[in-house]
Amino acid sequence: MDFKPLLLWSDILLWAMVAGCVALAFYCRRQDYLRRAWRRVGESGVAMSSATILAAFVSVGLLDSLHYQPRLPAQEGSTEAQYAPEVLSALDALVADLRLNKEKTYSAPLATHAFAKETMERDGVQTRDYPRLKWGGAHLEDVAGRDSDLARRAASGAFYGLLLWAAVVGVAVGLMALARGAPYGATCRTVWQPGTAATRPIAWRAVFATLAVLSVIGGITAAWAAGYHVFGTDKVGQDVLYLSLKSVRTALLIGTLTTLVTLPLAVALGLIAGFRGGWWDDAIQYLYTVLNSIPGVLLIAAMVLMMQVVIDTHPEWFETAAERADARLLALCFILGLTSWTGLCRLLRAETLKLRELDYVQAARAFGVGDARIMARHILPNLMHIVLIALVMDFSGLVLSEAVLSYIGIGVDSSMNSFGTMINAARLELSREPVVWWSLAAAFVLMLALVLAANLFADAVRDAFDPRFQWRARRVVKKVAA
């Protein structure tokens, strides 16, 4: 084999989360009220196009979560396979051009020449000039042809993007026609027609329109990236597009894995406090009041500092640098989870207090059903919508807080690509002359797209599941920014 697959802990957890989401989807299909609520999400065009954009981010993140170690060229006399200490992912393999073709230092987006002048020898005379880049536009014989080359590439990229889009949409509509047992043409028409209140179809039109935009953008970017640095290069000459793509996984991990800690704590403690009452309730309320009264960012800082000491004093736990960075990321998720479960716990406790007085719970109790069973069968399903809304709403806040925490120096490992480390590395670049703006701009655009899509999707989910309940913006960022 040319490579050795390597599962980092975060990969395992992320794929387990994907499996969990699939299981949740099946659960929702079976429950009538959940299915109806999801249908309401599906009817909203904004929600569906946000979901499409989120899905695009998730697929980048998942590609980046298939890790492996490449095989080193065999050494003479050794039959044993040697693997590189460097850990790569499927995404790295896909965009190997971007990863490997580094420049010396900064270069502007789509530039052909470096950003800084260098002393060069030309015809025996020493001159200072901007040198040509090693990769960006290196295929051009005459740099004056760059614009027409870019236009040509953009046109063909957009064309292939649309071609791919047409194929995907065609197959998708075909599958829908099969599932409904309707003829292909009729399915096309129903998908294309705007929904009326009576028919209430899922907003496929929004999905396909968003897909079209994404594939055109993706096609053009891919076509340009084959010959240029689309977002320029950073201080050490790394391609900024590559760095931003790698950052997506970190953002997704922080936004999702944190819930693995938040959920069990909040659900279990909230249920017990609300249902059992008495000193269980007092103890749990005390616990979350204490945790809540420490300002979020300070608690996170204290915990992260302590975690750093643990990691630094036990270097023997980690074989590769990637594993250490991974452990740090997981620890950060754990810490964010430990500090952010209190809000959800309080909501669930209050709701349980209400539910346990309802007739059907009383009836179950009168029949002699045990506490644990009542909680699991009769109360928990009725809390599901709150849990779901809280999960979706927390995501964007967590992504934003990662950037802030990394800036303060208590975020992810500095060797790990994330939007926070990108911004942190680039924050002094605006004071350079001329301004180096592209790293910040790339981080800005991608973060805005991700967080905006997540926010819009979360709003739609909230409206569909529980329009009356007031969802205060309970967000980690709020605490962080204060």
Candidate residues 295, 360, 363, 415; the one interacting with another protein per rule CB under 8 A: 295
Helices and strands of the chain, counted as H and E runs: 19, 5
In the complex, least distance from residue 430 CB atom to another protein, rounded to whole angstroms: 5
Q: Maximum Cα–Cα distance for the chain, whole Å? A: 99
Instruction: Single out the segment in contact with another protein by CB under 8 A; choices: 204-212, 310-318, 346-354, 374-382.
Output: 310-318
* Strand ordering across the sheet containing 67-70: 3-5, 67-70, 88-89
Q: Which of 392, 394, 418 is nearest to 407 (CA)?
A: 418
H-run or E-run covering 420: helix 419-426
Instruction: Single out the segment in contact with another protein by CB under 8 A; choices: 61-69, 163-171, 386-394, 440-448.
Output: 440-448
Whether 262 contacts 344, CB under 8 Å = yes
In the complex, least distance from residue 302 CB atom to another protein, rounded to whole angstroms: 5
Token pair for 445? 């655009």
Count of residues touching another protein (by CB under 8 A): 54
Binding mask 386-405 toward another protein (x if CB under 8 A, else -) reads ----------x---x--xx-
Candidate residues 59, 289, 362, 415; the one interacting with another protein per rule CB under 8 A: 289
Q: Which CB atom, from 25 or from 294, has the smaller least distance to another protein?
A: 294
In the complex, least distance from residue 415 CB atom to another protein, rounded to whole angstroms: 18
Three-class DSSP category at 370: coil
Binding mask 410-439 toward another protein (x if CB under 8 A, else -) reads x--------x---x---x--xx---x----
Q: Which CB atom, from 138 or from 294, has the smaller least distance to another protein?
A: 294
C-alpha span between 27 and 23 (Å, rounded)? 6
Q: Three-state SS across 254-289?
A: HHHHHHHHHHHHHHHHHHHHHHHCHHHHHHHHHHHH
Q: DSSP label at 378?
A: I
Whether 390 contacts 306, CB under 8 Å = no
Token pair for 316? 């023997």
Instruction: Single out the segment in contact with another protein by CB under 8 A; choices: 11-19, 96-104, 301-309, 359-367.
Output: 301-309
Rg of the chain taking only CA atoms, in angstroms: 26
Instruction: Single out the segment in contact with another protein by CB under 8 A; choices: 18-26, 85-93, 325-333, 408-416.
Output: 408-416
Binding mask 203-242 toward another protein (x if CB under 8 A, else -) reads ----------------------------------------
Whether 112 contacts 132, CB under 8 Å = yes
269 counts as binding another protein under rule CB under 8 A: no
Residue 74: how many other CB atoms lie within 10 Å: 11
Q: DSSP label at 183?
A: -
C-alpha span between 169 and 163 (Å, rounded)? 10
Candidate residues 380, 455, 463, 466; the one interacting with another protein per rule CB under 8 A: 455
Candidate residues 379, 456, 460, 476; the one interacting with another protein per rule CB under 8 A: 456
Candidate residues 9, 184, 286, 317; the one interacting with another protein per rule CB under 8 A: 286
Q: Give the residues lining the site for another protein (CB under 8 A).
A: 286-287, 289-295, 297-299, 301-303, 305-306, 308-310, 312-313, 396, 400, 403-404, 407-410, 419, 423, 427, 430-431, 435, 440, 444, 447-448, 451-452, 455-456, 459, 470, 472-473, 475, 477-478, 480-482
